[in-house]
Structure 1
Amino acid sequence: MKVAVEEGQYKTVLADGRQTVTITHIEEGVSERKGIPFFAVRFENEAGYVSHRFYQSPAGMPAIISLFDQVGIKAQEGKELDTKQLMRKELTIEVGERSYSDPETGNERTLKQAINFLAS
């Protein structure tokens, strides 16, 4: 079998802590369990990357608005935000781990996430 390696796939997951990153990829989807729309952002720098899902739900909107705000795109009531505007934007994030109980299996899962967005 031949395995194609695309640009950036050789990078490792970013270490915990503050990182200055560029948004290099955005993927849209719907959550597997509850059908909630989301977009996944790949934050990347020379040292590695971290991907983070942003859910379009009442609980997820503060993080979405903060992300757009910190890259200079102001959210306005009654207007839509376009995720394509995030591409190639630079900002500072905090990388860390979050643990939760998987609702289907009851097992504890841990994932890397990006939080505390700041303009770079």
Structure 2
Amino acid sequence: MDKPFLADGQHVVEITDIEEGKSEHKGTPFFACRFENEDGFILQRFYLTKPGMSGILDLCQAVGIEVSEGDQIDTKQLLHKRVAIVVEDRSYEDPETGRERTIKQATAYGKAGSRG
């Protein structure tokens, strides 16, 4: 049986899987990290767009990978890295239905073992 989603709050997790793909709505390229610990997991997409770069740079910095905006990122370097995250709910309007959706997301990436 798969693990449950991580509860809201701070967690130290390992990146146990990475998938690359394109968004269903606009075909925007992304990679998705599975952040996991003994309590559960969360999947988080990182869109390869200008607005998405700050989250990607924060994640890379938190796990000790040096990148600059515009660099190509080898997502395999992220596998099995440990990172501190904050899990929280985020609401947005679904572009296909116009209805509000709420999802869990990982934010506030920090070095594992540090308090952000």
Alignment counterpart, residue 70 of structure 1, candidates 62, 70, 93: 62
Question: Could you tell which deviates more after superposition, 11-20 or 74-83?
Answer: 74-83
Q: Which 4+ stretches in 1 moved above 6 angstroms?
A: none
% of aligned pairs identical? 54
Alignment match, 2:34: 42
SS in structure 2 of the partner of residue 76 of structure 1:
coil
Which has more radius of gyration?
1
Q: Does the C-alpha gap of structure 1 residues 47 and 77 become closer, same or farther in structure 2, counting only changes over 3 Å?
A: closer
SS in structure 1 of the partner of residue 30 of structure 2:
strand
Offset of 1:77 from its aligned partner?
5.4
TM-score w.r.t. length of structure 1: 0.89
CA separation in 1, counterparts of 2:37 and 2:51? 28
Alignment match, 2:45: 53
Alignment match, 2:90: 98
CA separation in 1, counterparts of 2:19 and 2:83? 19
Matched, 1:22 2:14: yes
Structure 1: unaligned runs, 5 residues or longer: 1-8
Q: What are the Cα deviations for residues 9-42 of structure 1, in whole angstroms up to 9, with x where unaligned?
A: 5200000000000000000000111111000100
CA separation in 2, counterparts of 1:66 and 1:47? 24
Matched, 1:111 2:103: yes
CA separation in 2, counterparts of 1:64 and 1:36? 15
TM-score w.r.t. length of structure 2: 0.92
CA separation in 1, counterparts of 2:6 and 2:76? 23
SS in structure 2 of the partner of residue 29 of structure 1:
strand
CA separation in 1, counterparts of 2:89 and 2:70? 34
Structure 2: unaligned runs, 5 residues or longer: none
CA separation in 2, counterparts of 1:78 and 1:61? 9
Q: What are the Cα deviations for residues 71-117 of structure 1, in whole angstroms up to 9, with x where unaligned?
A: 00011356422100000000100000101111111111111100000
SS in structure 1 of the partner of residue 49 of structure 2:
coil
